[in-house]
Amino acid sequence: MSIALPAMAHGDHDARPLLRRAEVGPYTVSLWQVYPDVGSAIIPHLIVMFDDGMPDEGAVVSVQVGSENVHVMPSMTTTGAWETMSGVEPGDVVSVTISERGESWSLPTVVIPPPLTSVLPMRALIAISIFLATAVAWWAAGRTAQAWRRPITYRNVGLDG
Protein backbone atom coordinates (compact mmCIF):
# COMPACT_ATOMS: atom_id res chain seq x y z
CA MET A 1 0.00 0.00 0.00
CA SER A 2 1.22 3.48 -0.77
CA ILE A 3 1.06 6.65 1.27
CA ALA A 4 -1.31 9.33 0.01
CA LEU A 5 -1.73 12.94 1.02
CA PRO A 6 -4.96 13.97 2.72
CA ALA A 7 -7.72 15.15 0.44
CA MET A 8 -7.53 18.87 -0.16
CA ALA A 9 -10.54 20.98 0.67
CA HIS A 10 -10.24 22.37 -2.81
CA GLY A 11 -8.31 21.65 -5.93
CA ASP A 12 -7.13 18.72 -7.83
CA HIS A 13 -8.64 15.62 -6.35
CA ASP A 14 -11.39 13.44 -7.65
CA ALA A 15 -13.48 11.04 -5.64
CA ARG A 16 -15.73 8.08 -6.27
CA PRO A 17 -18.22 6.48 -3.93
CA LEU A 18 -17.68 2.87 -2.88
CA LEU A 19 -20.73 2.69 -0.63
CA ARG A 20 -23.54 5.25 -0.37
CA ARG A 21 -25.73 6.12 2.60
CA ALA A 22 -25.42 2.88 4.56
CA GLU A 23 -27.42 2.87 7.81
CA VAL A 24 -25.13 1.78 10.65
CA GLY A 25 -26.48 2.18 14.17
CA PRO A 26 -27.56 5.82 14.58
CA TYR A 27 -25.53 6.98 11.59
CA THR A 28 -25.79 7.21 7.83
CA VAL A 29 -22.35 6.63 6.39
CA SER A 30 -20.77 6.65 2.94
CA LEU A 31 -17.37 5.30 2.00
CA TRP A 32 -15.40 7.22 -0.65
CA GLN A 33 -12.18 6.59 -2.45
CA VAL A 34 -10.31 9.83 -3.06
CA TYR A 35 -7.43 9.98 -5.44
CA PRO A 36 -5.19 12.49 -7.17
CA ASP A 37 -6.49 12.99 -10.68
CA VAL A 38 -3.81 11.14 -12.59
CA GLY A 39 -4.31 9.25 -15.80
CA SER A 40 -2.93 5.85 -14.92
CA ALA A 41 -1.02 5.91 -11.61
CA ILE A 42 -3.45 6.05 -8.74
CA ILE A 43 -2.77 6.40 -5.03
CA PRO A 44 -6.24 6.44 -3.54
CA HIS A 45 -7.14 6.55 0.09
CA LEU A 46 -10.41 6.18 1.91
CA ILE A 47 -12.81 8.66 3.46
CA VAL A 48 -15.56 7.57 5.80
CA MET A 49 -18.22 10.28 5.43
CA PHE A 50 -20.87 10.76 8.07
CA ASP A 51 -23.63 12.03 5.81
CA ASP A 52 -25.57 13.66 8.67
CA GLY A 53 -22.56 15.44 10.20
CA MET A 54 -19.81 14.39 12.59
CA PRO A 55 -20.50 11.51 15.00
CA ASP A 56 -20.76 12.12 18.73
CA GLU A 57 -17.55 12.81 20.59
CA GLY A 58 -16.10 9.54 21.76
CA ALA A 59 -17.07 7.68 18.62
CA VAL A 60 -14.17 5.82 17.08
CA VAL A 61 -13.85 4.75 13.47
CA SER A 62 -11.62 1.85 12.63
CA VAL A 63 -10.74 0.61 9.18
CA GLN A 64 -9.34 -2.77 8.28
CA VAL A 65 -7.83 -3.54 4.91
CA GLY A 66 -7.65 -7.30 4.62
CA SER A 67 -6.64 -8.40 8.08
CA GLU A 68 -4.60 -5.29 8.80
CA ASN A 69 -5.77 -2.25 10.77
CA VAL A 70 -4.91 1.01 9.05
CA HIS A 71 -4.47 4.41 10.64
CA VAL A 72 -7.63 6.50 10.39
CA MET A 73 -8.34 9.90 11.89
CA PRO A 74 -10.84 12.77 11.70
CA SER A 75 -10.21 14.63 8.45
CA MET A 76 -8.53 18.01 8.76
CA THR A 77 -9.96 19.20 5.45
CA THR A 78 -13.36 17.52 5.06
CA THR A 79 -16.23 18.17 7.43
CA GLY A 80 -17.98 15.11 8.86
CA ALA A 81 -15.32 12.72 7.71
CA TRP A 82 -12.58 10.41 8.91
CA GLU A 83 -9.84 9.48 6.52
CA THR A 84 -7.04 6.99 6.17
CA MET A 85 -3.50 8.09 5.38
CA SER A 86 -2.66 5.06 3.29
CA GLY A 87 -3.90 3.96 -0.07
CA VAL A 88 -5.63 0.76 -1.09
CA GLU A 89 -5.19 -1.53 -4.06
CA PRO A 90 -7.89 -3.02 -6.28
CA GLY A 91 -9.13 -6.25 -4.74
CA ASP A 92 -8.41 -5.14 -1.17
CA VAL A 93 -11.24 -5.99 1.20
CA VAL A 94 -12.18 -3.05 3.40
CA SER A 95 -14.12 -3.29 6.65
CA VAL A 96 -15.24 -0.23 8.57
CA THR A 97 -16.41 -0.32 12.17
CA ILE A 98 -17.83 2.52 14.23
CA SER A 99 -17.62 2.15 18.00
CA GLU A 100 -19.38 4.31 20.53
CA ARG A 101 -20.20 3.85 24.23
CA GLY A 102 -19.43 0.15 24.22
CA GLU A 103 -21.47 -0.53 21.10
CA SER A 104 -20.11 -1.07 17.62
CA TRP A 105 -21.58 -1.22 14.14
CA SER A 106 -19.96 -2.40 10.93
CA LEU A 107 -20.46 -1.28 7.36
CA PRO A 108 -20.93 -3.96 4.74
CA THR A 109 -17.55 -5.19 3.55
CA VAL A 110 -16.35 -3.49 0.37
CA VAL A 111 -13.97 -4.89 -2.23
CA ILE A 112 -11.96 -2.11 -3.93
CA PRO A 113 -12.88 -2.09 -7.63
CA PRO A 114 -10.34 -1.53 -10.41
CA PRO A 115 -9.20 2.08 -10.89
CA LEU A 116 -11.33 4.32 -13.05
CA THR A 117 -10.21 4.38 -16.64
CA SER A 118 -10.57 7.34 -18.93
CA VAL A 119 -13.93 7.34 -20.65
CA LEU A 120 -12.42 9.46 -23.41
CA PRO A 121 -9.46 8.77 -25.71
CA MET A 122 -7.32 11.31 -23.88
CA ARG A 123 -4.08 10.86 -25.81
CA ALA A 124 -5.81 11.37 -29.15
CA LEU A 125 -7.75 14.30 -27.75
CA ILE A 126 -4.56 15.93 -26.46
CA ALA A 127 -2.73 15.35 -29.76
CA ILE A 128 -5.58 17.00 -31.71
CA SER A 129 -5.70 19.86 -29.21
CA ILE A 130 -1.92 20.48 -29.43
CA PHE A 131 -2.13 20.54 -33.23
CA LEU A 132 -5.10 22.92 -33.11
CA ALA A 133 -3.44 25.23 -30.56
CA THR A 134 -0.21 25.37 -32.59
CA ALA A 135 -2.07 26.14 -35.83
CA VAL A 136 -4.16 28.83 -34.14
CA ALA A 137 -1.09 30.38 -32.46
CA TRP A 138 0.67 30.56 -35.86
CA TRP A 139 -2.38 32.09 -37.57
CA ALA A 140 -2.97 34.51 -34.69
CA ALA A 141 0.66 35.71 -34.69
CA GLY A 142 0.42 36.74 -38.36
CA ARG A 143 -2.99 38.37 -37.96
CA THR A 144 -1.96 40.20 -34.81
CA ALA A 145 1.05 41.72 -36.55
CA GLN A 146 -1.26 42.74 -39.39
CA ALA A 147 -3.77 44.28 -36.95
CA TRP A 148 -1.06 46.44 -35.40
CA ARG A 149 0.21 47.65 -38.77
CA ARG A 150 -3.26 48.94 -39.60
CA PRO A 151 -4.22 52.32 -38.15
CA ILE A 152 -7.39 52.34 -36.07
CA THR A 153 -10.19 53.59 -38.32
CA TYR A 154 -13.75 54.44 -37.38
CA ARG A 155 -16.51 52.96 -39.48
CA ASN A 156 -20.27 53.33 -39.29
CA VAL A 157 -20.73 51.53 -35.98
CA GLY A 158 -24.39 50.75 -35.60
CA LEU A 159 -24.14 47.45 -33.67
CA ASP A 160 -27.72 46.71 -34.58
CA GLY A 161 -26.99 43.66 -36.71
Sites of contact with other proteins (CB under 8 A): 5, 7-15, 17, 20-21, 30, 32, 34, 36-41, 43, 47, 49, 51, 75, 78-79, 81, 83, 116, 118-120, 122-123, 125-126, 129-130, 132-133, 136-137, 140, 143-144, 146-159, 161
Closer CB to other proteins, 60 or 126, in the complex: 126
Q: Is 5 helix (H, G, I), strand (E, B) or coil?
A: coil
Nearest-approach distance from CB 83 to other proteins, in angstroms: 8
Closer CB to other proteins, 41 or 114, in the complex: 41
CA end-to-end span of the chain? 63
Rounded Cα–Cα distance for residues 55 and 61 (Å): 10
Q: What are the Cα distances from residue 49, in Å, to 42, 143, 144, 155? A: 21, 54, 53, 62
Closer CB to other proteins, 102 or 161, in the complex: 161
Burial class (CB in 10 A: 0-12, 13-18, 19+), 111: exposed
Closer CB to other proteins, 21 or 71, in the complex: 21
